[in-house]
Amino acid sequence: MMNQTKSQTKSHKKLIIQLLLGTVGMFGFGFALVPLYDVFCRITGINGKLDLTPGVYQANGVSGREIKIQFIAVNNESMPWAFKPKDSSLRVKLGQTYQTAYWAENLTPNYMVAQAVPSVSPSDAAQYLEKVDCFCFNRQPLNAGEQREMGLAFNVLAGMPAHIKTITLSYTLFDITAASDKSVASND
């Protein structure tokens, strides 16, 4: 700093400004990643595994091809609810919307809130399983001893590759009582 020429000071200033701009830019990039990821996942079709947004009903036409869809219910950790699918499996035509349900009962003497998390196998099938309406979109609060049938409307898109003949849709029920606000109404 002591014997710097004027041009050295100037070029140092320039470098510092560039570095600061770079740092700010990196922060901004981190925030910009949120919408960027949505775009990226949409373009590549990745992110089929965990779809919690309602599918828009697509009038793709019924394809006539039939596949089997299985329904599984899983309780995570010590989740103490009874949780079962109404239908353990269905034969469905591609492109047509079907309705089924899962049944849950809070077997404890306490108010609890659950979150159902879906998962599809094989993973290639995930992007073709549209959930028109699903109980997994919302938190599910149940009072002590309360039971409820929770609806699921779905559509297996006609574009699904021919080598997939059986899909398994599983829901895992998680206890999110601690993380939820108890005063919230049942469908938020």
Contact residues: other proteins, CB under 8 A? 49-50, 52, 68, 70, 72, 74-80, 82, 88-89, 105, 107-109, 115, 117, 119-124, 163-166, 168, 170, 172, 174-179
CB of 66: closest distance to other proteins in angstroms?
12
> Least CB distance from residue 62 to other proteins, whole Å?
22
Nearer to other proteins, 59 or 161 (CB): 161
List, in sequence order, the alpha helices (H) in 45-173. Answer: none
Q: Which residue has the tokens 């014997």?
A: 3
Q: How far is the CB of 102 from other proteins (least distance, A)?
A: 15
Q: What are phi and psi of 52, to 5 degrees?
A: -110, 15
Decide whether 98 or 174 has the Cβ nearer to other proteins. Answer: 174
DSSP per-residue letters across 139-182: -EEE-TT-EEEEEEEEEE-TTS-TT--EEEEEEEEEE-TTTS-T
